[in-house]
A and B are shown apart, each in its own frame.
Chain A
Amino acid sequence: MLPDSLKENAIAASLETADPSLLLGGNTEHNEITLDVVPEKILEALRLLKGQRFERLSTVTVVDRYPMEPRFEVVYHLQSVSRNLYVRLKCRVSGETPEIDSATAVYASANWYEREVWDLFGVVFKNHPNLTRIMMPDFWEGHPLRRDYPVHGHKYSYQNE
């Protein structure tokens, strides 16, 4: 269900008409459009928006709200250059190895962003062409940007050398 603040928003309304079970909510705080999308339907949402001249996927990232559940918010920022507009999509996923469909099928630029997210947060992107670590070395254990991963004092500390 859409909150009142989004009912007049053309983008949210068009997604709602295309598939009434697509959106969970959203807001327009700070003049930025945020849409909460059902995680299983993220590809559908991305395809619909790409059809509405959102040519670019600017970035994909995750916010870890540990210890809250669902813990991970996968955040997509889409840009329409021709309409001069940004929109933020959000999917909430949980679990030790959360899963979500890879956006690479819709936007090629998602490739590295999703690798980065997998590397640093451990969110698995299904059907990703090459889901390997991109920032950390291959032998690394754990996903450093998770909130329950320590800032200092991890296994490979170099402080005492």
Chain B
Amino acid sequence: MSETLTPTADTEKTAHTRRMILNMGPQHPSTHGVLRVLLELEGETVLKCTPDIGFLHTGIEKQCEALNWQQVITLTDRVDYLANLSNNLCYSLAVEKLLEMEIPPKAQWMRVLLCELTRINSHLVWLGTHALDIGAMTVFFLCFREREDILRIFEMFSGQRLMTSYIRVGGLALDPPRGWEKRVKTFMSTLPSRVDEYESLLNTNPIWLKRTKGVGRLPVDEMLEIGMSGPCIRAAGIPMDARKMMPYSSYDKFNFDVPTSTDNDVYARYAVRVAEIRESIKIVNQAMAGMPEGPVQASAPKVVLPDREKMKTQMESLIYHFKIVTEGFSVPAGEVFQVIESPRGELGYYVVSDGTAKPLRVHMRTPSFGNLQALPNLIEDRMIADSIAIMGSLDFVLGDCDR
């Protein structure tokens, strides 16, 4: 939050060449939130791009230090509001690692299923808004139609459409609701044809192709060096995916591919994400078919709230319940950096405990922050119209970036 509109000394000197400084955002629709970008233009060419972030900084990392371990889950929802369950999962995995806790298989599989639904949800929102930016309006309505189904599924599970807080330290918040299989199965049977529908609108659309093919290229080394991750780096030919590289939550038991492309342009990022939706459908179907039986919470009475019935009839459960509700649970001192693959890329939670009931530090390595940093490298010396397509292709969420 420090960039100013004063022209650089460089600009003043060359004022006669009609350089212009254009302030884009923070309320520009194609900035997907509150990103402000300062563009120094010569004609229609962007000479210098300065992203200005921080408008959505809500001090989440600071608040984490004031809440107890389980309460932090509600804040992780609010970091990336399009991938709430991924954030829930990453934080839970980190704390569970510190607690050295075993999670029952059903909870792990449910987590995978929900995170893949989250990925589909996030990619649908991305596809809709990205196409809208470039001028293909119909895709937006179609994507949001399917997104509504996913949000209804989330609501069925957790009672919330967005801020689910469904994945908790120790397992899941609740048992899956009755009839969830039918709901998810119906949705999964319709989705592949819907994805075909989006592709039929875009893959042969001459305007779409002109505006995305060959736009937004950057050398792969530079992309790695600047800290990019996720679909952007996979569209550059590097199969970097935490689900395959360091499998968590029994992802190693699922059979799926990591879509990549070597074109490294806006179109390749689109193609990779659409292929990822299809892979996610495969994973969800596998999770439905092979869902293990059993509890969805670990048997850790000091961490997981006891069953309501037991709490009312057994003294021990009542004591544990009282302890967890009043002071929470303490976590052994130590530090953990847990990385998962969120829809946007490498999501890492660096959690430090000093052995008390509150975290000493929760740092979120969010994919949007890392990807957005590459914006000047991608935009500079290109046309201003391309900057909209490039920004869309990065798929950033400003809540995720500013935290």
Contact = CB atoms under 8 A, between A and B. Distances in A.
Interface in A126-161: 132-138, 144-145, 147, 149, 151
Contact of B238 (A75, A81, A137, A149): A81
User: Which range contains the number of A residues in contact with the other chain?
Assistant: 35 or more
User: Which range contains the number of B residues in contact with the other chain?
Assistant: 35 or more
B46 interface: no
B274 interface: no
Given A81-B238, A111-B373, A135 B360 contact: no
Nearest to A138: B2
Nearest to B56: A135
B370 to A, nearest CB: 7
Interface string A56-77: 1111010111000000000101
Contact of B227 (A57, A136, A149): A57
A55 B59 contact: no
Given A109-B227, A136-B1, A86 B339 contact: yes
B365 A59 contact: yes
A153 to B, nearest CB: 12
Contacts of B298: none
A32 B225 CA distance: 22
B362 to A, nearest CB: 10
A107 B225 contact: yes
B365 A58 contact: yes
Nearest to B53: A134
Contacts of B402: 135
Given A77-B337, A81-B224, A61 B363 contact: yes
14 contacts: A30-B97, A32-B335, A56-B225, A58-B227, A58-B346, A58-B365, A59-B370, A63-B360, A77-B337, A108-B225, A109-B225, A112-B373, A147-B65, A151-B65
Interface of A: 29-30, 32, 34, 55-59, 61, 63-65, 75, 77, 79, 81, 84, 86, 88, 107-109, 111-112, 120, 132-138, 144-145, 147, 149, 151
